[in-house]
Structure 1
Amino acid sequence: MDQFCTRLSNVLQIFFVLSVFASWVSGDVTFGTCPSKCLCRNDVDGKLVVDCTDALYEEVPVTNIPCGAKKLLFINNNLKKLSRMSFIGLRELEEIDMSGNFISYIEPESFAGLPSLRRISLVRNDMRTIESWYFRDVSFEHVMVAVDGNPMYCDEDLKENINLIKSRVTVGGIICSGGEIWRVLGKVRGRTYEDVETQIRKNFESWEMALLTLSSFIFFVIVLSTICGICKYRSGNYTTGEYLRRANRRHSNVRSYAGSEASDHKNHHRRHHHKSGAGSKSGPHSAKESRKIEMKSEDHFEDDDSLVLGGQTQPAYSDSGSERVLSPPERRY
């Protein structure tokens, strides 16, 4: 990594030397004199001013600027960005005015190596925020930065970056074109940063915490309701199944009992029909009835010695428990 950085630094130095040589060949470098499109003069305090107003430069011709310049004016040009090479070698520079350009990006360490710098004007450009890396590795003590007329977005990032650089940089003239206060875009439109600085994130945090708490509660209620619904659904299915099975069992018992009653009633009807039609030989059951063997009451008695020898018979008992006396049978000879 160190070797790569060393090689990159050497390449940049070679590129710088070649650019200086190319500018010198084209006649645009005067080494201590003003660029061809600029006016160099001394102000009332005797400080060298390089005035390049309305020169339509798209980049700062740093190789053409005298090293002893105190003020650098690039007003109403076509500058879109500032790089770390824009002010290299201008160690006596005290003021930079880049008003009326299209600057929207500033490379890190663009203002490094300027120990005498006191003021920077970036009025009426296209900057939307102030990044802390703009002023990384600077050697000046304190500088004032004016950003009036830029479409600045006032949010927590801007506030944090300004707090990081406030020990050496004071940013003024921030007019908010939009911002985040209570998550409402444009609520701070047209207001200065100083007016909304205390409201950014301070009130937003309380509102955000309340919304987060409410959202968490609603989510918890939804999850709990879902779980209860699933449990009730499963329990309802089990209870319904048990109820159906019990109902089926009861219904089957009723059908069995009803079937047995119907069977008994049918058998009774057959017996009654048999008795009523026993004397007739006609009818659907006459063939079956004619095959039955008539049994006499004597056929149910087994031979017993007491009957043969004329002994006494034991009294027979009826189902009701009362005794009934049987007459002695006739003797057989």
Structure 2
Amino acid sequence: MNSRTRDKPSSILLYLSSLVIFIILQFNPTFGDVTFGTCPNKCTCGDDSDGKMVIDCTGSDYDYIPTTSIPCSAKKLLFINNNLQKLTRMSFIGLRELEEIDLSGNYISHIEPESFAGMPHLTRINLVRNDLSTLESWYFRAVSFEHATLSLDGNPFYCDEDLKENIDLIKDKVTVGGLICAGGEIWRILGKVRGRTYEDVESQIRKNFESWEIALLTISSFILLVIILGVIFVVYRVKTSDYTTGEIIRGTNRRDSNIRKSYQGDEDDRQNGIHSRPQSAPGNRKIEIRSEDHYYDEDDDAMFGGNPQPPYSDSGSERPQSPPDRRS
């Protein structure tokens, strides 16, 4: 058996498969939601008054753009009021003749980088009433069109410094129109700024701190405050210990020393038979009374009719005196 005989069954199988596919395309040109090479199944396709092909898929409940079923000669692409949630690099691949894209009334909240690349004739992009909260510069990375108008009315944009910087980066390629601030941080107007157009607040926009930056700044400030209070407390304690507690201890030691010295001096004087009168402190008006200041007055005793008491001496012994004779 030669090689031609061995290859004959495979050639017949390939021929039959091609015939089946041809018959399917002839009698049932649709496959799923799309029609290969002509028009998406739920859309209407035709030329407008200017002779430009329009692909109109308004209200067709698409959650993606069936690129493979759209003719490459299409000039306008209308996917109004569908269920689109994002745009990818594959959303418009191969559609180099597109001049207008209308995606209004969808739920688009994310656009991949270079989603609008490869369309050199694009002049208008309509993203009105979607869910975009920011406009990133990479949306229009590697675009080949010279300039396009971007309509953004009805999106919940957050107007901050990042948005301002991104618009400045793409202003040579895209003219932004209808951008309404649904929130943001404005100079002297903190919080929400609903209803204000971006053009009205552009000059007032300042840099907005993200939530993690605010938390980090708050925690750092609190830690710094605790450290400062701790240092102040330690310094206060050290100063108090040096100049107050230490002075009290030294003063107490001096008083104890003076008391000991005074007590020791009085003991020595008594042993030597010396009786010294303590001097009053300057300014002290109190008179100190000691035992030698007391004396016996016979007239006082006679006045009260009492018996005189023997005089008292410091030595503790009575002076030998004979009592006066009162009978005379």
TM-score w.r.t. structure 1 length?
A: 0.63
The 1:267–1:100 alpha-carbon spacing in structure 2 relative to 1, beyond 3 Å, is same
C-alpha distance in 2 between matches for 1:228 and 1:53:
71
Task: Report if aligned partners of 1:178, 1:185 keep a CA contact under 8 Å in 2.
Answer: no
Identical aligned residues as a percent: 60
Q: 2:168 aligns with which of 158, 163, 170?
A: 163
Secondary structure of the structure 2 residue equivalent to 1:239:
helix
Secondary structure (helix, strand or coil) at the match of 2:200 reads: helix
- 1:97 offset after TM fit, Å? 0.3
Look up the match of 1:235.
Answer: 239
Q: Distance between the aligned counterparts of 1:133 and 1:189, measured in 2? A: 26
Query: TM-score normalised to the size of structure 2?
Result: 0.64
Which one-letter code corresponds to 1:117 in the other structure?
L
1:100 to 93, 101, 105: 105
Higher percent of residues as helix? 1
Matches of 1:24 and 1:249, distance apart in 2: 114
Larger Rg: 1
Distance 1:242 1:92 in 2: 93
Query: 2:263 is matched with which residue?
Result: 259
Separation (CA, whole Å) in 1 of partners of 2:259 and 2:34: 118
Amino acid at match of 2:68: T
Residue ranges of structure 1 left out of the alignment (5+ in a row): 1-22, 205-211, 278-333
- Residue of structure 2 equivalent to 1:14: none
For 1:176, the aligned partner's letter is C
Structure 1 letter corresponding to 2:83:
N
CA contact (8 A) 1:31 1:64 kept: yes
Aligned length: 239
1:163 partner letter? D
Which 5+ residue runs of structure 2 have no aligned equivalent?
Answer: 1-27, 210-216, 274-312, 319-328
Deviations 1:183-232 (A, max 9, x none): 75444210100000011129x9xxxxxxx9xxx9xx89x95x87666445
Separation in 1 of the partners of 2:272 and 2:149? Answer: 122
Q: Is 2:187–2:204's contact at 8 Å kept on the other side of the alignment?
A: no
Aligned-residue RMSD, C-alpha: 3.4
Question: Residues of 2 paired with 1:165 and 1:273: CA distance?
Answer: 116
CA gap of 1:50–1:251, structure 2 versus 1, over 3 A, is: same
Equivalent residue number for residue 68 of structure 2: 63
Change over 3 Å in CA distance of 1:261–1:95 after alignment to 2: same
Q: 2:30, 2:36 within 8 Å by CA — same for their partners in 1? A: no
